[in-house]
Structure 1
Amino acid sequence: MSYTIGQVSDLTGLSIHTLRYYEKEGILPSVSRNESGLRIYETKDLEALEFIGCLRALGMTIKDIKHFVQTSTTIDQRLRILERQKEIVAAKMDQLLTYQSMIERKIEIYTKMQSEVEM
């Protein structure tokens, strides 16, 4: 299925400006154009944008994403990049679990205080 830049913007939540920027920077280099020169996105482009969004949400820089998607980047290099991102995600998850435990302890304390007041 084919999509216009406006449709892709609506589907992904990315601005048209961001989509053009990604293409200009080579982050999404494979966008084709129709006879009128309008960008035509395919399902594979949406999948690539979803993955790019994942990497951005995890804090990967545009520079690093650009390096990752370059055709000159080897499979070994891509694996190392993804392994590093996996480590970063694991560390963030550990930190979030610590925060969750802190919040749960406070909830227990306040729940106990509340039931003592009600007695």
Structure 2
Amino acid sequence: MDYDSFIGTVQQHGEYAGSGEAVSATRATLATLGERIDEGEAEDLAAQLPAEVGEHLTGGDHGEQFDFETFLERVADRAEHDAVAEHPEDATNAVVRTLQEALGRETEIADVLSQLPQDEGYGGLFESVA
């Protein structure tokens, strides 16, 4: 999946009016996910995505321990559009759903899922794998 297809799919899943909201959702969600998973996993995941998408996974700190509520707060704080900031869970769901489709392999998603606590809301993001 190329960059335009990824953003278009996020836009469709998030039911956003424009691509700006989809770009914002993608940046905010993947940057936050990159902080939550370890560096090696972030790099592995990024390598399988378009460079413009994957770079958001690897740009910050990694392996931080924070709950799902904090995850959503960070997504909202990073959002550049109100549609994302006001509904960070919807934005996160749209990006993760697109991520699953882009990877097309449950093993990669399972690797990410294994680094997230399943009792704090993260499991719902990856329902098709959990």
TM-score (norm 1): 0.32
TM-score (norm 2): 0.30
More strand by share: 1
**Which has more radius of gyration?**
1
